[in-house]
Amino acid sequence: MSGAAVLLNARPPAHIAIIMDGNGRWATRRGLPRTAGHKKGVEAVRRVLEAARELGVSYLTLFSFSSENWSRPEGEVSELMHLLRFYLRGEIATLHKNGVRLRIIGDRSRLAPDIVTLIRNAETLTANNTGLTLVMALSYGSRQEIANAARHLAEEVKAGRMTADQVTVESLGASLYTQDIPDPDLVIRTSGEKRISNFLLWQMAYAELVFVETLWPDFGRQELDDAIQEFHRRDRRYGATVGTR
């Protein structure tokens, strides 16, 4: 069997995380408003989610809206929130039918009350599903997440519920939004940018990073397959010396 065939038949990474970048540029290149790119990006989410399910991926995390995105023009933020409402209302029944569990990570305090209610209802409806887990990072910033976790542990120490010696890598990790989600194996960023933009800084410590030129609205099954094949070509050593695991 050829090396290419082996890669094609290899098991996919258990957890893939994607920084979905390029919606605005996709629209600009076509003389369209940025909001058109965001709408097209929702179609890419559907394609990639279906592909991930078919491939047997267990966790798919999508960087949907960062804490920094709140500083974008009011009209664009409003449209993004409208699309979020549309997705939460229109797609959840399909996710549930397909056995997908939805998880939302991020600062919900900045989201509108009706969106928080939609999130809560969607998570409750899909909580017992055993297929792929779709994690959407909304109003999310990794530095803030880590700071919140550190603050929580400091308060626990101050209250006498734990000692300073019990503040460990494990206890901090257990205080993050992703406490019951495995760390990503593969992180993909679209659009040709080579940054991680305050996304899963703690969790991606040993993830393989793949940067692709494709703008997010054009990303699909083939691009996902290519990224997974690149992942399988990597020698993951987790900080160990060459030749060890």
Q: What is the CATH number of the domain that holds 212?
A: 3.40.1180.10
Using CB atoms within 10 Å of the CB of residue 157, give its burial: 0 to 12 exposed, 13 to 18 middle, 19+ buried.
middle
Residue 244 forms part of a structural domain: no
Catalytic residues: 21, 69
- Give pTM, 2 decimals: 0.92
**Do the annotations mark residue 223 as ligand-binding?**
no
Sign of the torsion angle spanned by Cα atoms 158, 159, 163, 167: negative
Q: Are strands 59-66 and 101-105 parallel, antiparallel or unpaired?
A: unpaired
Residue 225 forms part of a structural domain: yes
**Do the annotations mark residue 72 as ligand-binding?**
yes
Question: How many folded domains does the chain comprise?
Answer: 1
Domain that holds residue 37: 12-141+184-232
Residue 147 forms part of a structural domain: no
How do the pLDDT tens digits run along the chain, 245 residues long? Answer: 334 444 556 789 999 999 999 999 999 999 999 999 999 999 999 999 999 999 999 999 999 999 999 999 999 999 999 999 999 999 999 999 999 999 999 999 999 999 999 999 999 999 999 999 999 999 999 999 999 999 999 999 999 999 999 999 999 999 999 999 999 999 999 999 999 999 999 999 999 999 999 999 999 999 999 999 999 999 877 766 555 44
**Do the annotations mark residue 121 as ligand-binding?**
no
**Do the annotations mark residue 2 as ligand-binding?**
no
